[in-house]
Amino acid sequence: MLSEVLGVYQVKGEGRRRWFRDASVDLIVWYDDDGDVEGFQFCFDRGRDEHAFMWTRRHAASFFSVDSGEDVLGMKMSPTFTHPSVSRLGDLRNAVLSAAGELETAIRELVMEKVDGYLNNEPRAGR
């Protein structure tokens, strides 16, 4: 189950951000100055075959594979988003369902709405 991380660094001049996590999942939610959700990033299978789903009001929803930046020679680079494995799309919905049970209703419903819309090929930008 996801738990909220307290004391999350807030960037001056940007809306508030909240971070929820468990052993293999991260959910970061961004808010605008009015307190409305501006967007979110849901990452699952952290440390194994990590994937990320991102939605914002201004941009289309996106699903990515996460390259951790680990190199076979031991050099650490910055993580990057790459093209996801289509076979992981079903895992996305299952990961949200299993992790989001204790989230506030509004956040849980928004995340599920955007994930379901993405999986059903609905328009991806905006509310």
Give the strand pairing for 25-31 and 37-44: antiparallel
Distance CA 119, CA 84 (A): 14
Question: Do the beta carbons of residue 37 and residue 30 sit within 8 Å?
Answer: yes
Helices (H) and strands (E) counted in the chain, each on its own, are 2, 7
Asked whether residue 21 carries a pLDDT value surpassing 90, the answer given is yes
pLDDT in tens, 40-79: 999 888 767 778 899 999 987 888 876 555 555 666 655 5
Asked whether residue 125 carries a pLDDT value surpassing 50, the answer given is no
Question: Do the beta carbons of residue 76 and residue 69 sit within 8 Å?
Answer: yes
Say which residue the tokens 């790459």 belong to: 82
| pLDDT-wise least confident of 10-14, 59-63, 86-90 | 86-90
Distance CA 71, CA 77 (A): 7
At residue 126 the predicted structure's pLDDT band, cuts being 50, 70 and 90, is very low
Asked whether residue 27 carries a pLDDT value surpassing 80, the answer given is yes
